[in-house]
Each structure stands twice: as C-alpha cells, then as structure tokens.
Structure 1
Amino acid sequence: MRFRQVHLDFHTSEAIDRIGSQFDKEQFQEMLKRGHVDSITVFSKCHHGWAYHPSEANRIHPGLSFDLLGSMIESAHEIGVKTPVYLSAGLDERLAVLHPEWWIRPRYGSSEDLFRPGYHQLCLNTPYLDILLSQIAEVVQNYDADGIFLDIVGVRECYCASCVSDALAEGRDPRNIQSMQPLWEQTYANYTRRVKETVDSYKQGLPIFHNGGHIRRGRRDLTHMNTHLELESLPTGGWGYDHFPLSARYVQPLGMPYLGMTGKFHTTWGEFGGYKHPNALRYETALSLAHGAACSIGDQLHPFGRMDEATYRLIGTAYAEVRAKEEWCSNAVHVADVALLSVEAAGGHTADGGHDSFTGQSDAGAARMLIEGKILFDVVDLDSDFNAYRVLILPDRIRITEALHEKITAYLSQGGQLLATGESGLHADKDGFALDLGVRHTGVNPYRPDYYRPLQPLASLGEAAFVFYAEGQRIELTETGTTLGRREDPFFNRDSFAFCSHQHTPDSGNDGGPGMVESANGIYIAWNIFEDYATKGSLALKETVLFALSRLLPQPTLRTSLQAQGSVTLQKQAAESRYVQHTLYASPVKRGDGIEVIEDILPIYQISMELRIPEKVHQVYLAPQRIPLDFEQQGEHVVYTIPELECHQMVVLEYEENN
C-alpha cells in the first residue's frame, strides 16, 4: 500500500459549466510532485450521479466535454502515481430524482425536505444495484484503475417498497426490526459479493474498499468484504481526535493493509477554501505511521479541474516527512500489554455511520485514558486471542454470555488478569456476577453522582472523596476480595423537592460499600468509569484506573516521562530485526463550535524511555535522522533518553537474532 495518498473529491453540480476546463496535465503532475503524493483517488462518478468520462452505463456530466478520468489516470501514471477510482455507491442524485422509489426509507416518517439541499441515499435492494455494477464494470474494463473505492455504503435500515416486499415474501414481519435485520445484512452482503464478482471478472484481485465512515468493531465479516481498509477519520469533520487511535488499535491487529484518512480542510469534506494548519497534518499523518498505517489526505478539486496550489504546499509539508520515515513503518506489528474489549464489538452500542456513534463513550474514554497513561494496548473483539495480552479490560458494559464466560475462564487459567468496571462481569441474562471478582452484586447504586474514597492516595490528588458521576453498581465484598477503595453516599439525590447548592449533594460520609476490589482474577471498579471520563474528563477517574493497572501490570513493556498529551506506540519490524518506538506530542484546542484544531506544536526535551523487550539490543538511533542514542540494557530493560521531540519522533532499536 502506498504511504502518501490523496483522496480527491469531485462532487460537482450539473448547475456548474466548464467542468475540467482548466485541467492541465503538467500542472496536475506538478502539484502531485509538490505534495510528495504517490497515489491519488480520482473520480468516475460523484454523489450528484454524473460520470467524469464518456459512459454508456451512466451519463457524462453535462458541463464536461472530454475524458477527465482518463486524463488524470494517464497523467498520474506517467510520474509513477497510482490511481484508485472512486464511484459514489450509496448516493446518486441524478437517479434519485428519476426513481424516488429507490430511496432508502426510514421506519417512521421522513426527514425529506424539498427545500433542504442535499442527497438521497439509494437502497441496494432495488434495480439501482444492477446499474451501479454496470458502472463499476465499465471503469474496470476501460481504464487502468489501481483500485475501486465505493462510498456511502453499509448495512442500512430500510423500509422501501423492495425491502418490505422481500420481507413479506420471506415471511418476515416488517413491523419487527429484529425480523428485518437479516434482510438488511443480506442486502449489503449481496452487494459486496456482486461487486467483487464484477471487478474480478475483468481484473482479478484489484483492490476494493467499501466506505461507510467507520470500521465497525466486532464485525469482522463486514471488514473482510474489503481487500484493505481506509479509516476515514477527519478530526475536525465530526470524528474528533479520539476516533482514529481507537479505530486503529482495533484494525492493525486484524492484519489487513490499512491507511488513515484525514483531510486538508479546516472543517470537513466539501469545504472549498478551507485549510488546516500544516502542523495539524504533520501530526495526523504521523499518528497514522505510529499506528502502523499508511496515510491519505482528503482534498476537493475545483469544478474547473485546476489543482489548488495552497493545498499541495500544505500536503507537501506533511508528506515530505512521511516520505523520509516510510522504511521504518512498513510491515510492522504493534506491541501491546493490554487488550481493551470494545463495548461496540460486544454489542453494547452500535455504529452505523453517524458521527455520534463512531466511538461510544466507554470505548472512547478507555482509549483516551490508556493513551494518556502510556499503556500499550490493542482494542479487541470477541474473536480475538485474549491470551496474547497480560491484562484484559472489560469497560463498563460488557455483560457476560456463556461463550464469553468460557473464553475469559480459559484466559484467567493461563494467568491473565481482568480490569472490569460498572456492569462488566455481570451475567447477560440474569442477576449477579458471572465472574469471580471478589464481590457480590446487590443492585444498581441508587445514588448518582456519589463519591469514591481510595484507601491509598491518588498520584496527583492525594486523599479525598472524589465525585464520580456515572452510574454505579452496589456491591458487597466476598471472601476472595480485598477492598482498595470505598463508596461514600451523598446526603440524597438532587430533585425538585430536595437539592443542595448548584449541582449535586455533598458527601455524607456514610459508607456505601466497596468501590474498588482486588481479587486473584483482577480488579473490579463499581462505576462506568470510562464513560464518566469520556464525558467529564476528571483526573481522579484516570488516576484510579492507572492505579489499578499498576497493580495488574507491575512490569509494563514501556515506561516514560512523557506528559499526558503525548502518545507512544511500539511497533516491531521482525523482518528487519528491530523495534520502532513512536513518540508524538500535540495539544488540540477548541475553535468555533466544537472544532478541535492543532496549530502550535511546542518542542519538549529530555524524555526518558524504558522498554522491556527480550532481545539483545545492539544499536539505538533516532529516525529518520539516523542519529545514534546512548542506551543501557540490563536483562530485558532498555533505557534511553529522547533529547528533543517536535511533533513526532521515531527511535529504532535494532536487536540481535537469537540462535
């Protein structure tokens, strides 16, 4: 997979004329060179439904008089740049106007507004699918495409006439969403299968990716309908800076080639004249490299077809650095101590493409804590090998089914340790804990918020009763548990007839039972603590979890003095007999209405690192600078200092192969 890709949007209204009139081969090539681009996704069909080439399967844009797609492919290939081809699959406004009966229909009412500009998504369980397949076949047959990128697709809830008719024919009750779900799954699976058959009939093995804006954790069946993965994750476009690391830590262990896709825009797709600070792109592309991913940056071509020079100066700033780093980033495997079992993967929340469901609060809060705490972790699903990790985290809402109980029991028998919080560990279908966590369940805590008093001082905050806002579980200690901290009740819950001060009621000092308990199997914390951190961000929450992990993981693979806003990953390139340790530092700030931006990146100095690895290290150096670093190794412990970090720094540890 190429490391320096551009995704060149070209969604262009039929109300605009002179399409591609300023396209110039030399200027196009010059911009790709200026941007250090080695692959660019170019358009066959946009959301408006128009083709950007002569077409029998579609209609060429009425304002276009030549083969723009063919010209772009030829121009890019002349300078060694690959050209995957984009077709809008879920959206085709030209056909949507002609065939409103093909629209995806919601169960209740309609959000359609004749006076609201926007697209209408089409159902792939209608005759539209055959038209789309003919458009794909035309591209693969007539053009030297280096891949096919299909957009705005996924398992979609739909009550169009075709879906309802098929449901009734199959004996399904359209009024029952559980009865309809298999039909929607079947529709998507049929679409991806037929796309692959169509592509392979002309060009066997051509890369295919179906984009839905989010890779659903726990749905490996959907993931493997692609040949590779592209993690669309524009921080300013609704995804935020939490989404990519969480998604990447799930995707990399799956072993598929993948890239991280951000955008050059200040906000999101379709923003003409919007540019983020060069430091933001430097950081976002470095974040991809640190997670074992290639890079893609989204751009949007002006209707006249001239590449924007400011955009490729901006992209070039980031990609010049990526180009220098690539050799230390390919074919890498992430090293992790901890497995975070995703709530999404376990069925605790769904993500169907809406931005508010990309992360899930428990998953996002847990990932954020682990990154800030410099814990090396992967995000896992129910099919993952838990035995590859020393600690398994069950965040907030992991109810235990019979199959999961069997898997966790086997993991514990091999010496694994659990960190469970909130509802996690409870039976999925009855009362009580399914796992021996040293506690007995007595019900949902009636107070919210309430207080946690640790028996040992927190690292930064010392001794106090700390307010925890999230829902908690009431527990009692069993003979196998040891209390590490207790719950203290407020005087009462705040309501219309009994309230105190501006927010919640103060701590009464009454003992509400254990709050954190240790047992032979691990540690249980009685609140949805990760969800709480995602919404409130309290330091006490993080330090409570990190204290627990310090007991479960007394000898982590990595220790560092890096501050909270920095992040660290450790990748292993076994074929080259080396580890590559990535360190990043930037502080996103809020601008405008909730947009996170990175502008200033300040250097930090003298960052101590200690790695615990089994191999004998013979050389440590900064990359790509190739500057040697002094280091010490005693047994498995390797210690060195990064003299300066500005945005992103790699440290390479080359080791001797064991005979």
Structure 2
Amino acid sequence: MTMRPRRLSVPLLLALTMLAASGAGTALGDDVPWFRRALVGMEVGPTGAQSGSDPSDVGYAADFHGREVVRRCAEAGSEYVVIWARDGEYAYYDSKVAAKCPGLGARDVLREAVEEGAARKLPIIAYCVVQQGGQYLSSHPEFAMRGADGAIIPGRFCLNSGYLETLKALTDEMIAYGVDGFHVDMIDQGFGAPYGCWCETCRKLFKAQYGTEPPAGATWDEGWGRMLEFRYESSRRFERALYDHVKKVKPGVTVDFNYHGNPPFSFEVGQRPVRHGENGDFLTGETGVWGFSALGVGLNAEFYRAATPGLPFQVAIQRGVRMYHDQTTRPLNDIRWELATLLAHGAFVTMVDKTGYDGRLDPVAYKRIGEAFRDAKAGREHFGHRPVQEVAVYFSSRSRDWYGREHPDRYFRAFQGAHRALVLEHVPWGVALDENATDASLAAFPVVILPDAPVISAEEVARFRKYVEQGGSLIVTGWSGLFGDRGAPADRSTLEDLIGAKLVRRLDSRDNHVRLPAAMARFPFEPLLAGIEHDWSFLVEGPAAIYLPTTATPLGELLEPHRTVRQKQGKEGTGWPLSAGKAVGPAILVNAVGKGRVLTFAASPDAATASEHPIVEARKLLVNAVRFLHPSPHFRVEAPAFVESVLTDDPETRTLRVHLIAGVSTPTTTPPTNRPYVIPGLIEDAPTFRVRVVLSIIPTSVTTAGPNTTVTLDDKTISAVVNDVHGVIVIRY
C-alpha cells in the first residue's frame, strides 16, 4: 500500500548521523567475494563426537554424505555451505594429519561436498576446529596448555606451541580439495578457570618480552596485566599467522575465526573486542536464546559491526531449541524472528544444522529452514543498509577485565541493561568500543551512554570532554570512573570535571532507591519524569555513589536502603532488596560542558534494567535522560515493548526503512532444574501489532515491503498495522 502526501519534502536529515554499511544483502556479481554476495547460508556437521568418541564407534556419521548435505542445503536456498571437515575429534576427509572418522569408511565427505558445490556453483567453506582436544591432543601432550603448577590443562592447546604447524598442514590439505574458505572455530583459550598457559614455551616468550617470570596465577596486579596482554597477543599472533599462511598458499581462499570478544565472554577466552575481530576476512559470531538471550541477537550483531566497522559480519544461528546438538527443530516463526533480527541489523546469517548420530538429515528442519530462507531472500533489497543510530552504548574492555574480572556480569549487567532499555523504548542505538573509538566515531552519535564503566583512562576522559564540548550529550551511570586502571577503588572520580561533582563515597548496597520530586515536572526537567510517579521512591538495583555537586545542577534524591539489626551485625545477607531508607545525595546531576551536557545518575538504571528486579521505571529513567538531552530526534517509533525496531537509510535511493521484529514467545513453566531460572518459550504465532512512526519532515511516499503490513500517512506521522513476525515500512524522502 502506498500513501502519497500532497506536498514534497525537503531532503531528509541533512544532519543525520550514520555508521558504515555492512554490504550484506546487496546482489553483486560473481567477481565479488562470496561473503560480500551472501545473505543466508548453512553450516552442517555431525552429532555424536562433541564430547569425545571411541574409535570403534563405526555407526557414528556412517550416513554423513557431503553430496547430500550440499544438495539439501541448495534446495533450501542456502547461498554457501560450511561443511565440517575437522572437529575436536576427527577429520571427515582423507587426512594425513588428523584421524579420520571411522564410520566414513572409504568415503570422503569434504571431497563429495566440494564436487557437488562446484556443480552447483555454491561456495564450500571448510569448518575446522582449533581447541576441544580429543585424540590429537592426547597423542601430542607437547601442545597442551599448562597451569601455573605445570600440570596439563585438559582439552586445551597452547597457541604458542608447535600446534600452529598442525593447523597449517590441515589447511594445506583442505585447500588442495578446492574449498572456497575456512571457518576456524574454538579459537578460545578456555571459558573459565584454570587459565593458561605456563608451559615452557610461554614462560620463555613471556620472559623474553617482559624480562621477568610470569605471575603465578590471576594476581590482578602489574604482573597479571602483563599476562593478560601476553594472552591477547598470543591469540592474535596465532590467528594472523594462520590467516597469512592460507593467503600465501591460495589468496582467494577466505578465513574467518569464530569470535568471542563480545558479552558474555570475558578475559578468559583470550580475546579483546577489536583486536580479535579484525584478523579474518570478516568477523563471525553466534547468537541464540539458548546462550545469549533474545536481546543478545541484535546486540551481538551491532557489537560485531562496531568491532569491524565497514566490513561484512557473519552470524551463526541454530535450528535446535536449546543447544547445537540437541536434535530438536524450532518452530518456523521462531527461526524467522531470529533471522529477520540479524538481517535487519546488517549481518549475513548461517543456519547451523547438526545431523543425527548416524549423519542423516532431518527433512522437517530443512523444510522450515527453506521457508525462512525464501522469505528472507524475497526481501533482500531491504537488508544491508546503513543503520540510523541516535545513541551509542559505550563498551569498556578494560572495565570488563579489571572490574568484572572473574565475575564479568558485574560489568556486563549495566551494558546489557542500557541496550535493553533502548530496545524496549525504541530508541535507535549502536555500540561504541573503547579500542577503536575516535573523536569522529563518537561525534556521529547525538548521545553516548557510559554504563557503569568503573575503569576509564585519562585518554578516554579527554575524548569524552572533546565530544561534549563540541555539542555531544554524555550519560554517566553508577560507578563509572570510580576505580583505578587495575580495578582498585579510587578516592575520586576520573570524570569529576565532566560530571561537575566530587565523590563523597560509594554505597556498599545494591538495593538503592531514587525519588524524583514533583517540582521537577517544570521546564526544562519535565522529560525526566515521563512515565514515573512523582515523589515516589522506587528501586534502582545496582551500584550507586554519593556526589557533592560543584558545577552540576542536582536533581532528585538517592536513597540508601534500610538495614535490619541482624544485617548490621553480619548475621543476615543483603541479597534481597529492602525498602528505601534515608536520602543521602542527589539522584541526578546535570552539568554543562562547552556546547554539550553531561547527565550523571548516582544510581544505575541500566544495571537495574538487567537485574533480577527490572522494574519499568528504571528503564524509563534512563531513556528519559536520552529524551531530555536529545528532545527532537528525526524519527520516533512508538510500538509495543515486544517489538524491536531497526532503522536503516539508503541515501543513494533516498530510502529509509523501519524494520519491526516481534519477539512474542509463548509462556513457560518452571524448569526441572535451576529453578527459578525459566527456560525461554518459543515463538509459534505471527502476532498483530500497531506502530506509529513520527518524522521530522513529510516524506514523498510510504510503502511496505509485503502484504502483511498496512500503512497510512497523516502529515509527518505514519500509522501501521503489522500482521507478522517481521514487517518493513519503506519511506522515500
């Protein structure tokens, strides 16, 4: 349906701020690398050896046929196939380096897949594992990671050992088959304690670089700082060496590494967000409600974009409902929801299918995947455009390492909570990373949120100052800037000049409250009270601090919680919130700096939004601050909280698109274990919902991308009804 107004508009958004395009979704010629042409693809591998395998188990993968895999993927609409060539236990081809899966007999899955792919002009990517030990590590203990006590860490290869030569030999074998690329998985250094590596090779390298012995574990001091850097550089060096080797052997073969620089991964994996996102031809990550949450789907995609600006990024999803090898198949609309979310955020997407134990393929899974792929490819022109982003959520990798330490959720909670608040309130957002943030990249955002980032360097403070002085708006929450560079509590804030206040003390409580008086409902502070009852003390669960204003205007009250006599005596815990006690300082500080402003929350509405008590008012408080600082956005989307809105712009055709993706999962009951942590429900039905989009100008036309969405236009306001999981409003200007 098309609505045309009587008068044309001026060019849309002369001051619109946008990030670089990912390039996904644009139909390009065959001379363009496969990953720049692709929208959807598949990864297929067997199930049964992920936890080890007995060589006598010849039934495992006996019916895993490369030719059949490629044929079924092609029929489903896959534009490339990632075929398992080597996992943590076996090779699935005639390898001279790694043990071949015994159930294959004389067959060669990789050769079958490459031949079928060539006949269908379908790129074949070899899946190759680095970690996950298995038989190869058992027979080569010289490649094993070792703990500080010298003992082998089971299942982990040292990336500084001669194991790199094994990977080079494996890739040489596969390149000879004619593969188009490699997906290198499990490039981590482990997902928890014990941390490595203290083998003789690593000890010698460490001492040669730093002139001292490595620390005897996670000491969280200067020595551990060197060890963190050593681990990060070991990962980077391994990735770059393998990448360079492949390119030397055959330059046209692509290499991508499975990435673990994003939440919920911490220092343990040995990856930093930017340093380890840029080592391949493109970044590959993974999502899924099973491990990353429903909101993690879009968040991970934008995290990958921020880590490798201007480059394509691939995201892997899975057909199972709980984890990769569980042999279940999700409902079609559940698959469509995740696929649409990632495509709207600019990713190209790989659906992971794990075969049955014997290698057979599930026909129902391929039927549903095919339907989802056909739906996505029919809307190809609507994906891969530049995002419109109003607010940046700033990620501090140093806070992740030195404040989060071995409990990274301490830091992640506020970062993820800020994202959740923006999504549920339909504020266009992006991610800014400390490693590659520049004056120009921050200036692209009208508002930057610094979500409870305790470790902020002098260089970052200078960059934030310049950003604000030139007209930017900065939101500071919780304990941001209140810790030293190695994560120790500080006596003063590194941000105090920007905040316009001095630190009095940090509260040792998490169950803190905020009260906003009715007097704030007058100009100019009334936007801060939208949707929040006046003179009401409400819980804002998370870190908080008491500030004494210097140049800032104080607003509202921060209240510390009551404590029982038993709690004061240390006989009772404080894990469950108590009611508000006395007021101890201002709740909000507003400070003018140059042409811009800094708004500081003494509490943590972002952490509260991702806490165990995520009341609506906490997220309203954060988003109200955005609207107070940036009251006249070019676009305003009004939609149900279960709908994620993604705005993109194509300036060449002067087309704005509003993607609307509904995550309406079914209600669930308590799980059989780990109560009360409920297992998320699946999306079964296509919902119907209403949306309003308010523009700053009058568009030349408004259409929809399909028959399941209808629109009407009244001056600058678009009203729409969406009858599906995913709808797209197409606005010409």
Query: TM-score, normalising length from structure 1?
Result: 0.88
Match among 169, 175, 179 for residue 134 of structure 1: 169
User: How far is the alpha carbon of 1:26 from its aligned partner?
Assistant: 7.2
Partner of 1:72: 113
Q: How does 1:194-233 map to 2 (within 5 A)?
A: 194-215=241-262, 219-233=273-287
Matched residue type, 2:134: E
Alignment partner, residue 20 of structure 2: none
**Counterpart Cα distance in 1 of 2:40 and 2:348:** 7
2:669 aligned with 1:622: no
Q: Counterpart of 1:424 in 2: which secondary structure?
A: coil
Question: 2:418 is matched with which residue?
Answer: 366
- 1:6 equivalent to 2:39? Answer no
Partner residue, 1:116: none
Change in 2 beyond 3 A, CA 1:449/1:80: same
Distance 2:508 2:205 in 1: 47
Alignment of 1:25-174 (within 5 A): 27-28=68-69, 30-48=71-89, 50-64=90-104, 65-107=106-148, 120-140=155-175, 142-154=176-188, 157-168=196-207, 170=209, 171-174=211-214
CA gap 1:25/1:224 in 2 versus in 1, 3 angstroms: closer
Change (3 A) 1:431 1:124: same
CA contact (8 A) 2:62 2:358 kept: yes
2:235 to 178, 185, 188: 188
Superposed counterparts of 1:222-621, under 5 Å: 222-236=276-290, 238-253=291-306, 254-271=309-326, 273-330=327-384, 332-344=385-397, 347=400, 360-382=412-434, 383-384=436-437, 385-426=441-482, 428=484, 431-433=491-493, 434=495, 435-456=497-518, 458-463=529-534, 464-478=536-550, 480-492=551-563, 495-496=566-567, 503-508=576-581, 510-520=582-592, 521-535=597-611, 536-588=613-665, 592=671, 593=673, 594-612=678-696, 617-621=699-703
- Say whether the 8 Å CA contact 2:694–2:717 is kept in structure 1: yes
Contact 1:342 1:380 in 2 (8 A): yes
Change (3 A) 1:402 1:21: closer
- What's the CA shift for 1:18? 5.0
When residues 266 and 207 of structure 1 are mapped into structure 2, their CA distance, relative to the original with a 3 A threshold, is: same
> Which piece of structure 1 moves more, 493-502 or 595-604?
493-502
- Note the C-alpha offset of 1:211: 1.2
In 1, Cα distance between the equivalents of 2:113 and 2:614?
Answer: 47
Instruction: Find the aligned partners of 2:300 and 2:575 in 1 and give their Cα distance.
Output: 38
8 Å contact from structure 2 (residues 512, 603) kept in 1: no
**Could you give the per-residue CA deviations for residues 186-233 of structure 1, whole angstroms, max 9, x where no partner exists?**
322321222122211222142211114444796322211011112211
Q: 1:27 to 1:204 in 2, by over 3 A?
A: closer
For the structure 1 residues 32 and 179, does the alpha-carbon distance in structure 2 shift closer, same or farther, using more than 3 Å as the test? closer
Does structure 2 retain, via aligned residues, the 8 Å contact 1:494–1:504? no
Distance of 1:502 and 1:129 partners within structure 2:
47
Q: Displacement, 1:95?
A: 1.2
Closer, same or farther in 2 for the Cα pair 1:58/1:443, shift >3 Å? same
**CA contact 2:644–2:662 (8 Å) conserved in 1:** yes
How many residues are matched?
Answer: 635
Higher relative contact order (CA 8 A, sep 6+): 2
1:392 CA drift (Å): 1.0
Against the structure 1 CA distance between its residues 322 and 199, is the aligned structure 2 distance closer, same or farther, given a 3 Å change threshold? same
- Aligned partners of 1:357 and 1:476: how far apart in 2? 29
Cα deviation, residue 149, structure 1: 0.7
- Could you tell me how far apart the structure 2 residues matched to 1:421 and 1:540 are? 16
Give the residue type in structure 1 aligned to 2:512: D
For residues 557-595 of structure 1, the C-alpha deviation after alignment (integer angstroms, 9 at most, x for no partner) is 332331112111111223433122111112345563543
For residue 166 of structure 1, give the secondary structure of its aligned residue in structure 2.
helix
Where does structure 1 lack aligned partners over 5 or more consecutive residues? Answer: 113-118
Distance 1:507 1:355 in 2: 27
The verdict on how the C-alpha distance between 1:350 and 1:291 changes in structure 2, with shifts beyond 3 A counting, is farther
2:721 aligned to 626, 636, 643, which one? Answer: 643
Structure 2 Cα separation of the partners of residues 280 and 355 of structure 1? 31
Measured in 2, the distance between the counterparts of 1:466 and 1:425 equals 25
In the alignment, is the contact (CA less than 8 A) between 2:562 and 2:580 conserved in 1?
yes
TM superposition shift of 1:496: 4.1
Q: What SS does the corresponding residue of 1:31 show, helix, strand or coil? A: helix
The CA distance in 2 between the partners of 1:196 and 1:5, in whole Å, is 22
Query: 3-state SS of the aligned residue for 2:641?
Result: coil
Distance in 1, Cα, partners of 2:242 & 2:541: 48
Q: Partners in 2 of 1:348 and 1:161 — Cα distance?
A: 26
* Aligned-partner SS, 2:704: strand
Shift of 1:309: 0.8
Distance, in Å, in 2 between the alignment partners of 1:501 and 1:181 is 33
Calculate percent identity across the aligned residue pairs. Answer: 20
- In structure 2, do the counterparts of structure 1 residues 111 and 534 end up closer, same or farther at CA, with 3 Å as the change threshold? farther
- Supply the distance in 2 between the matched residues of 1:642 and 1:110 (Cα, whole angstroms): 63
Look up the equivalent residue of 1:559 and give its one-letter code.
R
Q: In terms of mean alpha carbon deviation, does 461-470 or 559-568 score higher? A: 461-470
CA deviations over 1:240-278 (Å, ceiling 9, x no partner): 22323222223224121012211111211222x222222
Whole-angstrom CA distance in 2 between matches of 1:357 and 1:466: 23
1:623-651 CA-to-partner distances (Å, cap 9, x unmatched) read 14498844355xxxx42122224211111
Q: State the SS of the aligned residue for 2:375.
A: helix
Q: CA deviation at 1:418?
A: 1.0
- Which blocks of at least 5 consecutive residues in structure 2 are unaligned? 1-34, 191-195, 216-222, 264-270, 522-528
Q: Evaluate the alpha carbon distance shift between residue 562 and residue 196 of structure 1 in structure 2; reply closer, same or farther with a 3 A threshold.
A: same
**Distance in 1 (alpha carbons) for counterparts of 2:429 and 2:227:** 37
C-alpha distance 419-645 of structure 1, shift in aligned 2 (>3 A): farther
Q: Secondary structure of the residue that 1:87 maps to in structure 2?
A: strand
Alpha carbons 2:708, 2:727 under 8 Å: kept: no
Shift of 1:326: 1.3
Moved more, 491-500 or 429-438: 491-500
Cα distance between partner residues in 2 of 1:567 and 1:326: 19
Cα RMSD (Å) of the superposition? 3.1
CA distance in 1, matches of 2:371, 2:255: 29
Distance in 1, matches of 2:636 and 2:149, equals 53
One-letter amino acid matched to 2:377: R
Distance change in 2, residues 1:78/1:302 (3 Å): farther
* Structure 1 residues 311 and 15, CA gap change in structure 2 (3 angstroms): farther
For residues 580-627 of structure 1, the C-alpha deviation after alignment (integer angstroms, 9 at most, x for no partner) is: 2111112345563543232234523331111347xx732221114498
- CA pair 611-399 structure 1, distance change in 2 beyond 3 A: farther
**Contact residue 261 and residue 276 of structure 2 kept, 8 A:** no
Cα 1:71–1:427 change in 2 (3 A) is: closer
Q: Distance in 2 between matches of 1:29 and 1:225?
A: 28
1:426 Cα offset (Å): 4.5
How far apart are the structure 2 equivalents of 1:25 and 1:145?
A: 13
Aligned to 2:30: none
C-alpha distance 111-159 of structure 1, shift in aligned 2 (>3 A): closer
570-579 or 226-235, which moves further after superposition?
570-579
